[in-house]
Amino acid sequence: MSKVYPLKGNQARAVAPHRTVWLSASAGTGKTQVLSARVLRLLLQDGVEPENILCLTFTKAGAAEMATRVNDVLARWVRLDDLALFQELEAIGADARPETLARARSRFAAVLDCPGGGLRIETIHAFSQWLLSAFPVESGLLPGTRAMEDRDRELLVREVLAQMLVEAEEAGDEGLLDALAHLALRMDQGSVIGFLLRCAKAIDLWQEPGAWRPPLRPRINQMLGLAADEDGSGVAALCADDAFDVASVRCCMAANAAWGTPTGATAANIMGDWLAADPQARLAGIDDFAKLFLTTKGEAKSARNLDKHEPAYADYQARVIAGITALRDRLALVNLAALLDPALTVGRRFALAWEAAKAREGFIDFDDQIRTAAALLTERTTADWIRYKLDRRFDHVLVDEAQDTNEAQWRIVLDGLVQDFFSGQGQSQRDPRTLFVVGDYKQAIFRFQGTSPENFAKARERVRRELAGLAEAMDEPERALLSLGLGQSYRTAMPILAFVDRAIAAIGPDRFGLPEAPEPHVGDVRPGLVRLWRPVGEGDGDEEELPEAGEEGGENWLSRPDRDLADRLARQVRQWLDTGFPLHKGTPRNARAGDVMILVRKRKDLAGLIVARLHARGVPVAGVDRLRLGAPLAVKDLMAALRFCAQPLDDLNLANLLVSPLIAWSQEDLLERGYRKDGVRLWTHLAHSRDPATVQTVEQLLDLLRRADFEPPAQLLHWLLVGPWRARFKLVARLGREANDPIDELLNAAMAYATGQVPSLVGFVQWFDSGDGELKREAGQAADLVRVMTVHGSKGLQAPIVILADAADDPDAALARGSELVEHGPGQRPRSVPLPALRKEEKAPPIRAAEEQAAREERAEHWRLLYVALTRAEEALFIAGAWPPSRKELPADSWYAQLAPLFGEDEAWEPDAIWDGARSIGIPGPPVVEAPRTVENLGLPLLPPWLTTPIGPEPRPPRPLAPSALGEDEAPDPPTRPGPGALLAARRGTLIHKLIERLPAVAPGERAEAALAWLARQGAEFDADAHADMLRAALAVLDHPDWQAVFGPGSLAEVPLAAVVEGRVVSGTIDRLLIAPDRVLIVDFKTARRPPASLADVPAAYLRQMAAYAAALATIHPDRVVEAALLYTHAPQLIAIPAEVLARHHPMAAT
């Protein structure tokens, strides 16, 4: 249960319920405690009810943690005595008058009774969903609108693109088709789709006021700073004598001519020819002309030899280069405009079609939710009315992790929710309405989601400005914004925080995007350790493979240093668990697996390899924090089984299935048993094999194929996991406990597919392959397991021991994101214009400037990400990395390269058996010897004898009896003659069995056609004559005059049965059943490959089984005669069982 800790300093000032506060909270300073205390203080105020408070958080986990804390405290206040309650109220700065104590005890019930069943503490996406559902008509949403999943997006993209192409071809829109073809030639399929989706995301370009409409070229020109009608024809004018500095060209030409060398003469001639040409010819020859002044790298050529003949040559050369650069830049802008025109035309068409398709299908994605909610509160004609409705509801808004709030989300908060807080009755009343914002500029790390620390600063300045004006107008200084900071960390030991301060100072606050150096951190005075491990692979020329790399080389896509790094990390954690690593926060103890957090910069294969290495060494590990559903091996193995059902002749998939844990062949087994002639399918080859192990595997696969004929995907997966295949047990045994989550998510995906589509095996495989659903673990809930995650995923979490696993990685190696320009229209918000991938020579000055700015912002976030990573550690921080391949030194801007000097570059490496050397700052705490747990004798009396005396037996219940299990081991299949046709003969019997099961549901006149069509699909290994023979055999049974009724109308198939026969429960399933007015007919199918010649040869076990069925039916229908028969489907052959035989094998006859 959550505790109430005494608030100190700025913590206590921040929770004052009547002030609007902007709180800058460094990592680990207790901001969640302050937020919770702020909510508690508000709830204690007269006139404030739970429904008047809105708390917006960044993550669901953060919302759940905060709600749990508040509810736990409120629940405890109900039970506390006056003194204890007084102390808790005093701890959060509340007065302790009797009426306050009484109100405190009533708040828990008030929270439970408020609309929605509790405090509104939620993510801003959840709030947007609530807002849209509360005002669906005003939002323009259709009934049944649902959130779009990844696979929905992938399928819809294909549909929209296909429809665009069809419409363009039907309309003869050659321009659109050519533009699409141009994009396809420039980029691969994924890049084209990515560009189109970015165009769809920028929907405000195409639909909002001031939207771009065809023709787009004038708007593109305007954005690039060109004239609206600029088409490139005017570029040549820049080469004319009155536009270009031809005087400087003539001076350079004269100097080259005076040089007196062949090089100078050639250059002078080229300059002369260029000057003699008209502007259009000059433009055409500008590249050859530029080579006289610029190197291939674009730098000015040396003028050392020409200075002797013209001292001012360097100045003339610089002027000519300036003219060339201006000309090239203008030409690049014109060419860029010509390139963007068709690309953005396609993007606009796709974006509008995308919006229409989403509306038609009832989809809304996360960006739509935020954008629509912001428009609903600020732009729609009903915005004032909606804000009025919300104005009557929310009086106090709290925003957590504000540095990760993007511009559209700030519009919801500042323009939609709290705009009226700062004016009119919102501030004129005695208890003003308040805004509480908490964030940390240093932890802004979600730029890829559209967030920016600049948005954080702008929002703060806007609130400060509006409240400053209000405070001055009302002459009440307390109405102004209260800006506070929290610097005392309650999480991290002081040696680690001192290291963090040194790192910020060494790297430079400006590189973090900070306007000035932050206040020094203050932490707990307790042991702390920062250790730098020697980079793996530094000068290592050893080519020997790691023993754990696997005999199959399955990890060879990772570099050798990365594989070595993963192995060393696993050895290190294993050593800590075996020998003990002391921890001294709270009660001294040794580290457990759950105390270790391993962080990586980016989500990549290294994280999965670390998990595998830890698992191989027996370290409990939770797996990576987030992965694509199609990536885990457990999912790939299960999907291989489903793909085999859909297409048994896929050789590669079948081979994958055979060597998976589900069947567990080795690679040698596959090579030995699967080797065959060219042109022979693997499945066909295996089906004809006489090897006992192969025959057993084929039977197992045939059972799967039979099941797939009638089971939908979700049920088939469930059968695979818990049925005879025991897939879950095998996968977990091979892959570890972390395989359970992907397995469960695959089951969830199959069930989700069934809810929106008619479930079919082929359809599910196609649907699954259309996209990668993301599997996200709530890593904060890991139970004593090592956590491996990205730094982004670790936000809000901490651990006693933190390892930065890939600190030596090059930040420049990250994949570049799509470029964009920003349009600044008069009276409009800046809007991003997505750009397709551009070559280096196509990047005009505005593009280069935008990319340079993006690179600066990306690098600043790179360093802020380091700050977040460092401050996850409580007591020990370890820095590791793998030496990048083919590099003589570490990347200059890698974390490792920047942090290593802080340990002393001249310091010797400490001996370390695992890492070949280490350097340390601080020291770990003294070793901890944990006493073994013992059970104390509490002096309780011994248990009374009656507690340990066994209870006597209860009355005997009816004994269960399964007819199908009656002596089944006594009825073996007669041996078959070995030979290549054995399996085909068995397959023939199985097909006839299926026909007899299926055809009764088909009208007699249509059975032949339906049967032959089915056999053509399912029995492709047989020819048409064999199909006809199988059909004749099946119809001979169905048309048998004595038993025709049991296969006719009114008969039942696969009938479950249960009855009590003379004290025993008889239960089972009857293959065919007919209940007539005077008799009951039952038929049970048998698949023996050599059926008995007569009743006398039928195994006794089968007779006992049929007798049990007959006895049960006689109990259920005492007024009817029960007749039974066995149908051997292989022949087929129908054998009736007389009543006297049934009586002789009655279930009670053997007891």
User: Residue 868: its pLDDT value, please?
Assistant: 95
Q: Please answer whether residues 344 and 835 qualify as being in contact, where contact means their C-beta atoms are separated by less than 8 angstroms.
A: no
Q: Which residue has the tokens 């040549």?
A: 236
User: Residue 516: its pLDDT value, please?
Assistant: 86
**What DSSP letter does each residue of 95-144 carry, written as one string?**
---HHHHHHHHHHHHHHHHSTTSS-EEEEHHHHHHHHHHHSHHHHTPPTT
| Whether residue 933 has pLDDT greater than 60 | no
User: Residue 527: its pLDDT value, please?
Assistant: 87
Q: Would the CA dihedral through 640, 643, 645, 649 be positive or negative?
A: negative
% of the chain with per-residue pLDDT over 90 = 41
For 6, the token pair is 């005494």
For 539, the token pair is 């000068």
pLDDT tens for residues 879-932?
999 988 877 889 999 999 999 999 987 778 999 999 999 999 988 888 888 766
Residue 864 main-chain phi, psi, to 5 deg:
-65, -35
User: Residue 591: its pLDDT value, please?
Assistant: 93
List, in sequence order, every residue forming a beta bridge with 596; answer none if it has no partner: 801
Q: Which residue has the tokens 């397959």?
A: 987
Residue type, 401: E
| Whether residue 938 has pLDDT greater than 70 | no
- Distance between CA atoms of 131 and 675, rounded to whole angstroms? 63
In this structure, what DSSP letter does residue 364 have?
Answer: E
In a 13 Å sphere around the CA of 967, the CA atoms on its Cβ side amount to 15
% of the chain with per-residue pLDDT over 70 = 90
Burial of residue 936 (CB within 10 Å: 0-12, 13-18, 19+) is exposed
In this structure, what DSSP letter does residue 1151 have?
Answer: -
Which residue, among 1138, 1124, 1028, 1122, has the nearest Cα to 1078 in the 3D structure?
1122
Is residue 954 very low, low, confident or very high in pLDDT (cuts 50, 70, 90)? very low
pLDDT tens for residues 1038-1060?
887 777 788 887 888 878 888 88
User: Residue 434: its pLDDT value, please?
Assistant: 92
Q: What is the pTM of this model?
A: 0.74
User: What element of type H or E holds 528?
Assistant: strand 528-533
Is residue 685 very low, low, confident or very high in pLDDT (cuts 50, 70, 90)? very high
Arithmetic mean of pLDDT, 160-165 = 93
Buried b / exposed e along 738-758 (16+ C-beta atoms within 10 A):
bbebbbebbbebbbbbbeeee
User: Residue 323: its pLDDT value, please?
Assistant: 93
User: Residue 964: its pLDDT value, please?
Assistant: 57
Q: Where are the alpha helices (DSSP H) in 551-628?
A: 560-579, 605-616
Q: Would the CA dihedral through 972, 977, 982, 988 be positive or negative?
A: negative
- Distance between CA atoms of 232 and 380, rounded to whole angstroms? 41
Within 217-326, strands assigned E span none
Which residue, among 939, 958, 955, 908, has the nearest Cα to 1151 in the 3D structure?
958
For 839, the token pair is 């070559």
User: Residue 551: its pLDDT value, please?
Assistant: 36
User: Residue 951: its pLDDT value, please?
Assistant: 57
Instruction: Identify which has the larger pLDDT, 1129 or 720.
Output: 720
pLDDT tens for residues 519-548?
898 887 888 999 999 999 876 544 444 444
pLDDT tens for residues 171-193?
999 989 999 998 888 888 888 99
Burial of residue 760 (CB within 10 Å: 0-12, 13-18, 19+) is middle
Q: Would the CA dihedral through 559, 565, 570, 574 be positive or negative?
A: positive
Is residue 550 very low, low, confident or very high in pLDDT (cuts 50, 70, 90)? very low
User: Residue 553: its pLDDT value, please?
Assistant: 42
pLDDT tens for residues 205-231?
998 788 899 999 999 999 998 998 888
Is residue 379 very low, low, confident or very high in pLDDT (cuts 50, 70, 90)? confident
Is residue 827 very low, low, confident or very high in pLDDT (cuts 50, 70, 90)? low
| Whether residue 780 has pLDDT greater than 60 | no
pLDDT tens for residues 401-442?
999 888 889 999 998 888 877 765 555 556 788 999 999 989
What lies within 8 Å, CB to CB, of 898 at 6+ separation is: 503, 506, 507
Buried b / exposed e along 232-241 (16+ C-beta atoms within 10 A):
eeebbebbee
User: Residue 773: its pLDDT value, please?
Assistant: 65
pLDDT tens for residues 455-472?
888 999 999 998 898 888
Length of the chain: 1151
| Whether residue 1101 has pLDDT greater than 90 | no
pLDDT tens for residues 302-345?
888 888 888 899 999 999 999 999 999 999 999 999 999 999 99
List, in sequence order, every residue forming a beta bridge with 832; answer none if it has no partner: 822
For 897, the token pair is 């390269």
pLDDT tens for residues 98-129?
999 999 999 999 999 888 778 999 999 999 99
**Radius of gyration over every alpha carbon of the chain, rounded to an integer in angstroms:** 39
For 909, the token pair is 């490496």
- Output the CA–CA distances (angstroms, integers) from residue 693 to 619, 672, 697, 724, 1133, in the order listed: 35, 12, 6, 17, 31
User: Residue 956: its pLDDT value, please?
Assistant: 43
Q: Please answer whether residues 45 and 430 qualify as being in contact, where contact means their C-beta atoms are separated by less than 8 angstroms.
A: no
Is residue 582 very low, low, confident or very high in pLDDT (cuts 50, 70, 90)? very high
User: What element of type H or E holds 801?
Assistant: strand 799-804
| Whether residue 784 has pLDDT greater than 90 | no
**What DSSP letter does each residue of 406-419 carry, written as one string?**
-HHHHIIIIIIISG
- Distance between CA atoms of 574 and 613, rounded to whole angstroms? 10
Is residue 1023 very low, low, confident or very high in pLDDT (cuts 50, 70, 90)? confident
User: Residue 554: its pLDDT value, please?
Assistant: 46
User: Residue 493: its pLDDT value, please?
Assistant: 92
User: Residue 487: its pLDDT value, please?
Assistant: 84
User: Residue 907: its pLDDT value, please?
Assistant: 79
Residue 259 main-chain phi, psi, to 5 deg:
-60, -35
In this structure, what DSSP letter does residue 602 have?
Answer: S
What lies within 8 Å, CB to CB, of 493 at 6+ separation is: 523, 524, 526, 527, 528, 585, 874, 875, 922
3-state secondary structure 29-83: CCHHHHHHHHHHHHHHCCCCCHHHEEEEECCHHHHHHHHHHHHHHHHHHHHCCHH
Residue type, 892: A
Q: Please answer whether residues 603 and 790 qualify as being in contact, where contact means their C-beta atoms are separated by less than 8 angstroms.
A: yes
User: Residue 872: its pLDDT value, please?
Assistant: 94
Q: Which residue has the tokens 């992907």?
A: 742
User: What element of type H or E holds 746?
Assistant: helix 740-756
User: Residue 668: its pLDDT value, please?
Assistant: 85
| Whether residue 1144 has pLDDT greater than 80 | yes
User: Residue 710: its pLDDT value, please?
Assistant: 87
Arithmetic mean of pLDDT, 970-976 = 45
User: Residue 530: its pLDDT value, please?
Assistant: 96
User: Would you state the torsion angle of the CA atoms of residues 104, 105, 106, 108, taken in this order, to the nearest 10 degrees?
Assistant: 90
Is residue 775 very low, low, confident or very high in pLDDT (cuts 50, 70, 90)? low
Instruction: Provide the mean pLDDT of the chain.
Output: 85
CB atoms within 10 A of CB 1120: 16
Q: Would the CA dihedral through 799, 805, 808, 814 be positive or negative?
A: negative
Arithmetic mean of pLDDT, 682-702 = 92
Which residue, among 372, 501, 427, has the nearest Cα to 19 in the 3D structure?
427
| Whether residue 258 has pLDDT greater than 70 | yes
Is residue 816 very low, low, confident or very high in pLDDT (cuts 50, 70, 90)? low
